[in-house]
């Protein structure tokens, strides 16, 4: 059954989800790294008898509680809403496989939120030893939320041979741990932990930059310098962890990246390569700013600088998450379900029985669907409606009509014959088709596919330019 689909103009449903996810990643990883930073900093301050540090940490823990407890939690729930809308089929698969995982996640999450609040509200009210213990409990549970969610996130990229072997048989639950500890699990856990630790530094710079460097120069110098050191593990270990991660990613994803790197000279970056470059350059700039501006001149380190570092971290996060998304294309769950919710195993069936036959919008079980009036329409309008449903069901998860990755402009210069060609190429999905690297096969019966051609015609309404080349070669994902 195809669920109804969510049609988001201009940016597409993917970017609604992406936008929320980027904020959530920034805050949730900070919740992990910052959760370790607080008790370790408190411990240092207490051992060295530095009460001025404690004052700073108290303020930082308030900021931390508000940011993670409110913003982190709200964006987390927003992800649920948006994935359910953007890809109900994949969400359903995840829930069926990992409901137990999420149950564990919520337990850790509850403890995490509770201890964060207790930590903040009990400064100076309980013994320092107990306060520290609460801090450590927070750090442990918040890292454990990462341990759990990482299994589910990496599963989507690399479900692993064992799970794929039983997928769709109904006994997926028996291989829960194989799916959970899948091929990219450990490299990704290390990568995310490193990101968390460096975000602790990034956000700590934001609060510590506000200390007055003239009246409290010594305090600011010591705490800014100590915070910058939190970036070191990432810069040493990130390249290694990243190489390991890529090594575990399926061949096709790596190819997409290699292709981009080897053709940089020619100017044809792939999405993945471009995103990785942004991420590497942003990280290098963070390192430079952190060392030259913050570490060398802590007294004059202003909030503006701290916010620039934060902004760069944001860019690096966005780029990395996008690269991960691109590596996964054309799948939403590697080798099992395409980004548009069609299972690899269903392709044959849809080609035989038709795609729209299984679409809820047209099902008798949805009597008030606006699309059911399709029967009473004149032939041409009916074709266009069918074509639109094909577009919404099979293309709209990655393309919009006239915004992000717009089919209107990708098809500009193409006449009907040329559009039919490209659509047929997607439908036949031959081994050597260049589109296989990032697009799923187009499924359906001949009349449905022709309907899509007619609908796509309406999107590139502008007549082909006379000087347009007669034959268009397939472009590599740019």
CB of 443 to ligand HEC, least distance (A): 9
Between 198 and 339, CB nearer to ligand HEC: 339
- Check if the beta carbon of residue 323 is closer than 8 Å to that of residue 276: yes
Residue of 58, 410, 436, 445 interacting with ligand HEC (CB under 6 A): 410
400 contacts ligand HEC (rule: CB under 6 A): no
Distance CA 215, CA 103 (A): 50
* Both tokens assigned to 448: 């449905």
Which of 247, 159, 240, 237 lies closest to 198, judged by CA? 237
366 to 395: interface string for ligand HEC, x by CB under 6 A: ----------------------------xx
- Check if the beta carbon of residue 24 is closer than 8 Å to that of residue 197: no
220 contacts ligand HEC (rule: CB under 6 A): no
CB of 405 to ligand HEC, least distance (A): 5
Distance CA 420, CA 355 (A): 18
CB of 472 to ligand HEC, least distance (A): 7
CB of 387 to ligand HEC, least distance (A): 10
CB of 154 to ligand HEC, least distance (A): 19
399 contacts ligand HEC (rule: CB under 6 A): yes
352 contacts ligand HEC (rule: CB under 6 A): no
Q: How many residues of this chain interact with ligand HEC, rule: CB under 6 A?
A: 24
27 contacts ligand HEC (rule: CB under 6 A): no
Which of 449, 455, 422, 450 lies closest to 355, judged by CA? 449
Distance CA 412, CA 434 (A): 20
Between 128 and 250, CB nearer to ligand HEC: 250
Residue of 383, 397, 400, 460 interacting with ligand HEC (CB under 6 A): 397
398 contacts ligand HEC (rule: CB under 6 A): yes
| Among 73-81, 205-213, 260-268, 433-441, the segment contacting ligand HEC (CB under 6 A) | 433-441
∠ Cα 52 208 139 (to 5°): 85
Residue 465 CB neighbours (<10 A): 9
91 contacts ligand HEC (rule: CB under 6 A): no
411 contacts ligand HEC (rule: CB under 6 A): yes
CB of 21 to ligand HEC, least distance (A): 17
Residue 356: partners with Cβ closer than 8 Å, 6 or more residues away: 362, 386, 389, 390, 393, 444, 448
Which of 19, 27, 314 lies closest to 142, judged by CA? 27
CB of 116 to ligand HEC, least distance (A): 38
Distance CA 63, CA 160 (A): 40
- Check if the beta carbon of residue 188 is closer than 8 Å to that of residue 214: no
Between 192 and 324, CB nearer to ligand HEC: 324
| Among 205-213, 372-380, 404-412, 461-469, the segment contacting ligand HEC (CB under 6 A) | 404-412
∠ Cα 106 112 115 (to 5°): 140
Residue of 33, 69, 334, 440 interacting with ligand HEC (CB under 6 A): 440
- Check if the beta carbon of residue 72 is closer than 8 Å to that of residue 149: no
* Both tokens assigned to 475: 């472009």
438 contacts ligand HEC (rule: CB under 6 A): yes
| Farthest-apart Cα atoms in the chain, separation | 83
339 contacts ligand HEC (rule: CB under 6 A): yes
Residue of 82, 340, 351, 383 interacting with ligand HEC (CB under 6 A): 340
Distance CA 458, CA 401 (A): 10
Between 30 and 269, CB nearer to ligand HEC: 269
442 contacts ligand HEC (rule: CB under 6 A): yes
Residue of 26, 275, 422, 459 interacting with ligand HEC (CB under 6 A): 422
CB of 449 to ligand HEC, least distance (A): 9
Q: What is the CA radius of gyration of the chain?
A: 26
- Check if the beta carbon of residue 97 is closer than 8 Å to that of residue 173: yes
Distance CA 146, CA 27 (A): 12
412 contacts ligand HEC (rule: CB under 6 A): no
| Among 1-9, 201-209, 345-353, 437-445, the segment contacting ligand HEC (CB under 6 A) | 437-445
CB of 39 to ligand HEC, least distance (A): 43
- Check if the beta carbon of residue 442 is closer than 8 Å to that of residue 398: no
Which of 83, 71, 86, 62 lies closest to 23, judged by CA? 71
The residue ranges that bind ligand HEC (CB under 6 A) are 329-330, 339-340, 394-395, 397-399, 405, 407, 410-411, 422-423, 426, 438-440, 442, 474-475, 477-478
């Amino acid at each position: 059954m195809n669920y109804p689909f969510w049609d988001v103009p201009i940016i597409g449903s993917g970017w609604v989800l992406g936008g929320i996810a980027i904020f959530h990643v920034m805050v949730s990883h900070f919740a992990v790294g910052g959760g370790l930073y607080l008790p370790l900093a408190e411990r240092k301050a207490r051992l060295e008898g530095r009460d001025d540090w404690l004052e700073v940490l108290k303020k930082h823990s308030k900021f931390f509680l508000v940011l993670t407890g409110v913003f982190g939690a709200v964006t987390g729930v927003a992800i649920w809403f948006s994935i359910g809308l953007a890809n109900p089929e994949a969400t359903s698969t995840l829930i069926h496989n990992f409901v137990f995982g999420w149950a564990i996640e919520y337990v850790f999450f509850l403890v995490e939120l509770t201890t964060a609040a207790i930590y903040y509200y009990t400064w100076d009210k309980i013994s320092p030893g107990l306060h520290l213990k609460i801090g450590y409990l927070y750090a442990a549970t918040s890292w454990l939320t990462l341990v759990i969610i990482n299994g589910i996130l990496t599963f989507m990229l690399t479900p692993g041979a064992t799970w794929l072997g039983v997928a769709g048989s109904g006994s997926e639950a028996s291989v829960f741990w194989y799916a959970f500890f899948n091929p990219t699990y450990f490299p990704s856990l290390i990568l995310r932990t490193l990101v968390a630790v460096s975000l602790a530094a990034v956000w700590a710079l934001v609060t510590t930059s506000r200390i007055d460097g003239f009246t409290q120069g010594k305090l600011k110098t010591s705490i800014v310098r100590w915070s910058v050191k939190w970036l070191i593990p990432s810069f040493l270990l990130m390249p290694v962890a990243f190489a390991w991660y890529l090594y575990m990613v399926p061949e096709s994803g790596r190819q997409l990246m290699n292709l981009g790197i080897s053709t940089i000279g020619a100017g044809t970056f792939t999405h993945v390569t471009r995103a990785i470059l942004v991420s590497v350059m942003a990280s290098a700039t963070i390192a430079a700013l952190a060392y030259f501006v913050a570490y060398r001149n802590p007294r004059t380190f202003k909030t503006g600088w701290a916010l620039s570092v934060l902004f760069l971290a944001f860019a690096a996060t966005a780029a990395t998450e996008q690269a991960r998304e691109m590596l996964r294309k054309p799948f939403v769950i590697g080798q099992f379900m395409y980004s548009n919710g069609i299972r690899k195993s269903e392709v044959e069936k849809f080609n035989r029985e038709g795609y729209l036959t299984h679409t809820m919008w047209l099902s008798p079980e949805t009597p008030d669907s606006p699309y059911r009036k399709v029967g009473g329409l004149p032939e041409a309008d009916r074709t266009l409606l069918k074509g639109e449903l094909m577009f919404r069901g099979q293309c709209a998860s990655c393309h919009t009509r006239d915004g992000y990755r717009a089919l209107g402009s990708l098809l500009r210069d193409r006449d009907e014959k040329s559009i039919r060609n490209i659509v047929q190429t997607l439908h036949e999905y031959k081994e050597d088709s260049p589109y296989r690297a990032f697009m799923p096969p187009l499924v359906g019966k001949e009349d449905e596919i022709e309907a899509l051609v007619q609908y796509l015609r309406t999107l590139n309404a502008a007549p082909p330019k006379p000087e347009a080349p007669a034959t268009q070669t397939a472009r590599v994902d740019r």
